[in-house]
Structure 1
């Protein structure tokens, strides 16, 4: 319902958010490799490198013998089902990631992003203990970035493309847009949904971002800022 276009939140502490853009570039490159595969190989790649709960729980053997079971808690976040899945996640990362990298520093942001991916996957696993389908997509890790953003910069103006009757660009506070997003995830996660969306991965990633943002922020970056 809402797609972020950009935010009015210039970076202050780093010259260039190369980790954010690097993650976007690597994720797009991985998808280009996926997209070049025949359909059967594309599907096999999601099985091999996606996070499958019964594999991580060691109830079923790892499809790739040389890959540790735990590794898919990270690799899944660089795979996507289609172009729309990819571009939506990368748009959110592009809008919100640079400011979180600025607030944390490059190395801490990279560790944060990967930690949110792992914690999002574990949240999905917790609610799908016997799941035999692969979890793929960066949305859990990106949700962590969004969780950190709403804690650090809730009042920043975010320009979103909103579908009300027709598509309209609107400036809204970050807490309004991101708050609506997480409430939607909670709603569908709690009532259940037939859509193939990993609601609990989103919720888990967002919660991880909220928890990790305060201790990881650099000195001088306050909470609830961005007015």
Structure 2
């Protein structure tokens, strides 16, 4: 639908978005690790670390030697795997533009917990919708969807620079861009959209993000925050004449 570019929404409580940057670095490292694997090894990594509903619900088993982590951990590990550079790039761009302000509102530790819970929620809803699926679920989209929902609740009026249809630059309030994005996710879920995209995972992340941001945000952090106005240069006109300062007789002032 659109590519986010910049939101000009400064941080208020933290100096740097350490967790957001750390998550981006972690996702990139994992991708580079899998990108240079052989095709067979990469497939084994996806099967071992991806979330597979039929395995999670005990309807199927992985081949011997493919289980890289205990099965419950795949509710998290799947979110650090990506199919290609475009899959990775899209998710990391959303994380970079919107994640820092959510981290700012929650604090570093709570934000990390928030991110992981949104990823888990995405996998849970995906599994409930398709419990017999044997296709591995991979990608950070569930966690990213949670961040989008949280940002929309925190800063709906902030204007975001986007590329509409990947080529038209626009500056639009978040409630329009992110609101339409969320509506699109649920619409595609209801209509049974593309099979290669888990709209259920997106929906699960959105629901979790909307709830968790209300619970985990710092005390005093408002929701539905006011619009942030970008400062502009203002020309100040000089008065044509400067009035002289009126002097007062010394007798009017106290002496010490």
TM-score in terms of structure 1 length = 0.96
Partner of 2:101: 99
Q: Higher mean Cα deviation, 59-68 or 145-154?
A: 59-68
Aligned length: 225
Decide which of 148, 155, 158 is 1:156's aligned counterpart: 158
CA distance in 2, matches of 1:105, 1:62: 38
2:48–2:68 CA contact under 8 A, matched in 1: no
Partner of 2:57: 57
- Tell me the C-alpha RMSD between the 2 structures: 1.2
Decide which of 61, 74, 77 is 2:76's aligned counterpart: 74
Partner of 1:44: 44
1:124–1:200 CA contact under 8 A, matched in 2: yes
SS in structure 2 of the partner of residue 3 of structure 1? strand
The alpha carbon displacement at 1:73 in A equals 0.2
Partner of 1:218: 218
Decide which of 138, 141, 149 is 1:139's aligned counterpart: 141
SS in structure 1 of the partner of residue 157 of structure 2? coil
> Any gaps of 5 or more consecutive residues in structure 2?
228-256
Partner of 1:174: 174
Q: Higher mean Cα deviation, 80-89 or 66-75?
A: 66-75
CA distance in 2, matches of 1:90, 1:7: 15
Encode CA deviations 1:130-164: one digit per residue, 9 max, x unaligned: 0100000000001001111111111111100012x
Decide which of 75, 87, 90 is 2:89's aligned counterpart: 87
Partner of 1:184: 184
Do residues 14 (structure 1) and 51 (structure 2) align?
Answer: no
TM-score in terms of structure 2 length = 0.85
Partner of 1:5: 5
SS in structure 1 of the partner of residue 163 of structure 2? strand
SS in structure 2 of the partner of residue 169 of structure 1? strand
CA distance in 1, matches of 2:191, 2:71: 31
> Any gaps of 5 or more consecutive residues in structure 1?
none
The alpha carbon displacement at 1:57 in A equals 1.1
Encode CA deviations 1:112-131: one digit per residue, 9 max, x unaligned: 00000000100100101101
Larger Rg: 2
The alpha carbon displacement at 1:44 in A equals 1.7
Q: Higher mean Cα deviation, 13-22 or 214-223?
A: 214-223
CA distance in 1, matches of 2:31, 2:226: 34
SS in structure 2 of the partner of residue 113 of structure 1? helix
CA distance in 2, matches of 1:200, 1:3: 21
